[in-house]
């Protein structure tokens, strides 16, 4: 395998601990799951975002699901602090998606973040007219990861360093 393919396998992805996860005191537990798997945190910050920033983050939601869903997502993500982090590792996007579980909490397997800490269904959220609270956001694919990371972090906020487990995957 050439160096180019090896470099392509090392990915970065955005993870957000949403206001429900922050308010429930799950930040440490969530971070530890990623670190135990060997993923490296290359950027992290606790922040409160405004509606304009939230709309930029959820722009694609409006196109796919409509203005009402966009408003619900914006209202929720701006309701309290959010922990934003960039994780890096081999096939990080797919690994992170496995760790967080299905977007709909009731479908997320036990052992995943959403499967262990949430149980809401889309149907319940729709009936109540609320957003599906699922503790975390994780980039869906490489294109989303690139867009989301550049929205949430400047290049000066990203850090390159070695962690001990890298010797096992590099």
Q: CA 101 to CA 59: how far, in whole Å?
A: 22
Q: Out of 124, 137, 159, 168, which one is annotated catalytic?
A: 137
Assess contact for 13 and 87: CB atoms under 8 A. Answer: yes
Q: Is 168 a catalytic residue?
A: no
Element housing 41 (H / E): strand 40-47
Q: Measured at the alpha carbon of residue 65, what is the angle toward residues 146 and 81, in degrees to the nearest 5?
A: 55
Q: CA 155 to CA 43: how far, in whole Å?
A: 10
Element housing 5 (H / E): helix 3-9
Q: In what order do the strands lie in the sheet with 40-47?
A: 40-47, 82-90, 10-17, 136-138
HEC secondary structure over 44-61: EEEECCCHHHHHHHCHHH
Active site residues: 137
């Amino acid at each position: 395998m050439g160096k180019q393919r090896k470099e392509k396998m090392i990915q970065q992805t955005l993870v957000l601990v949403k206001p429900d996860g922050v308010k429930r005191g799950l930040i440490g537990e969530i971070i530890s799951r990623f670190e135990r798997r060997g993923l490296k945190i290359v950027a992290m910050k606790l922040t409160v975002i405004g509606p304009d920033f939230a709309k930029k983050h959820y722009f694609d939601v409006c196109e796919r699901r409509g203005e009402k869903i966009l408003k619900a997502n914006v209202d929720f993500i701006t309701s309290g602090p959010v922990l934003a982090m960039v994780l890096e590792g081999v096939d990080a996007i797919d690994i992170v998606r496995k760790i967080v579980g299905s977007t709909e909490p009731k479908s997320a397997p036990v052992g995943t973040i959403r499967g262990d800490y949430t149980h809401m269904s889309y149907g319940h959220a729709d009936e109540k007219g609320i957003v599906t609270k699922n503790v975390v956001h994780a980039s869906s694919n490489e294109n989303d990861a690139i867009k989301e990371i550049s929205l949430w972090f400047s290049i000066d906020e990203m850090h390159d360093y070695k962690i001990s487990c890298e010797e096992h995957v590099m």
